[in-house]
Structure 1
């Protein structure tokens, strides 16, 4: 009898250890229970068509048909507090409504984090608070049914030593996200200026990511031929040169950032949508309002940059959905058509 009892306990113990890892979520959230997959994580190697959707936008303010031309929408921004807890920027629509909308269009939806540099630096420097932050990020992602996480810390710096702690953080976050079959991406500087910020993204962080969004805009003065243009074609090519050749970012992880807005040489912005309302040519690249010139990426530039990304990278990213025009002038739609077009 004693031998039988011991055997029974052993069998129960073995069966219990074979159960899938389960996270239970308290009431008041979306889903209640999540079961960790037991199959290996398989990264998506397809061409990415990405757009950020800031929480300060209303759903009604975007052309939702453009979601059909995207693979990923990145909802932004979630911020860490000093204690490692998280807070979402004020939202115009409920998070669950945005998530539901995006998924109805067969897109992946990702939650983006940005926030205070000092808070990140402090949290990531300590292994305990670093793991606490990872735990809170994963919990928030699962509770709200996001398909991944995007990091937009601007910026870790090699001169502060936060390049190392950021790399460690991204490695640990990647392991946890991939165990749930979720993606990890990051938005990074254009990398055109030498210094601590350029070197703040190291190999550990790059290896941890499924893809990397290269912010190839806001670069006034980076193109001698167009010194007042904040996002010229040459700048895009130079950004890819830096990240692919100097920073050794694999081509399959490179996603080229495109602006759905124009800028003056005084760094004043206006959305592409509003520029067209003011009378700008959707196929142009410059538009004068009063005595002020705005420089923007019109349809031909977006087509050329998409072809560049198709050749040298593995995706495009737009900042941001609410700034794009609707209908035939949508830069997102133009980019998708350029990607699908056969090269002569």
Structure 2
């Protein structure tokens, strides 16, 4: 009897040990079958603090403590092939490690897609290939434990019917993602120039999204301003999307650049430099422009980022940085400065 009791205790101890190990495995890790939630989808309407994390960034290139000041990190980019299969950009960080890093800092992990417009136009215009494309996106998202999808096709074009097919695609993708309680977002042009690119994003696409990242940068020459992302541009972008494009305020996320941009005299080609590299070369963290190699780089220093964050808090429902690897570390971090203003 005593021997049986000892064996029973040992068996229970072994079972408890196994149970503990299983509990430490991340939910869904290695799973190939998934069960949809049976409760209604509830959109997250809280203020969002977002940064993109390109796959080509190594862990050593980013200040991971900045993730503590974010709510979402968008890992980029996944691209469609002509057969609707998906391929990740050349990566210095595995998807598994990227997602683990993001979630370790209590952020939502989003996978972003961009790619060739010809491929998108072909896939989206055919109902069968469109459904296969959606299926592959959702499968990739689930298998890699992402919390949502961000569409960064630059850009659907109304002159080729891209507005219609993109709207249909986004509606169908949204329905599938929401059935899994996952989010759908998109990154869009600043929209200040009228034309088929601006009209490529229609109401159907806007309605399908949980939030929309407004790329209020890369605007060199807008109203003859050499600064590619001044505060005035941020307000005009919000005017356009909230007004003419009927984007709801609770879906609007204002894009902020963690880099400077300029042009050599007489050139029409833009050149850029990360905010952290500008500081290394001697630029002031509180400045707005810096000359290096004969080129004036215009950038958003800490005061500009603070002011734009206040604008976003008042007029929108989030901020987004392109991109995590270009921000400075420590007290000069633009991401940290934005969080402090909130």
TM-score (norm 2): 0.89
1:297 aligns to what?
Answer: 300
Task: Supply the distance in 2 between the matched residues of 1:290 and 1:160 (Cα, whole angstroms).
Answer: 41
- Alignment equivalent of 1:273, drawn from 266, 273, 276: 276
- Residue 113 of structure 1, CA deviation: 0.2
1:244 aligns to what?
Answer: 242
Task: Supply the distance in 1 between the matched residues of 2:162 and 2:270 (Cα, whole angstroms).
Answer: 29
- Secondary structure of 1:35's counterpart equals coil
- Alignment equivalent of 1:287, drawn from 285, 290, 300: 290
1:167-206 map, 5 Å: 167-206=167-206
Which segments of structure 1 move beyond 4 Å, counting only runs of 4 or more?
A: none
- Residue 223 of structure 1, CA deviation: 4.1
Task: Supply the distance in 2 between the matched residues of 1:60 and 1:175 (Cα, whole angstroms).
Answer: 38
Task: Supply the distance in 2 between the matched residues of 1:234 and 1:31 (Cα, whole angstroms).
Answer: 48
Q: What stretches of structure 2 of length at least 5 have no aligned partner? A: 1-28, 264-268
Count of paired positions: 309
RMSD: 0.9
TM-score (norm 1): 0.89
- Residue 172 of structure 1, CA deviation: 0.4
Task: Supply the distance in 1 between the matched residues of 2:270 and 2:308 (Cα, whole angstroms).
Answer: 22
2:252 aligns to what?
Answer: 254
- Alignment equivalent of 1:316, drawn from 315, 319, 335: 319
- Secondary structure of 1:145's counterpart equals coil
Q: Is residue 116 of structure 2 the alignment partner of residue 113 of structure 1?
A: no
Task: Supply the distance in 1 between the matched residues of 2:69 and 2:175 (Cα, whole angstroms).
Answer: 30
1:298-342 residue CA offsets vs partner (Å, 9 max, x unmatched): 000000000000000000000000000000110000011112xxx
Task: Verify the 8 A CA contact 1:31 1:144 in the aligned structure 2.
Answer: no
- Secondary structure of 1:268's counterpart equals strand
Task: Supply the distance in 2 between the matched residues of 1:292 and 1:171 (Cα, whole angstroms).
Answer: 44
- Residue 34 of structure 1, CA deviation: 1.6
1:234 aligns to what?
Answer: 232
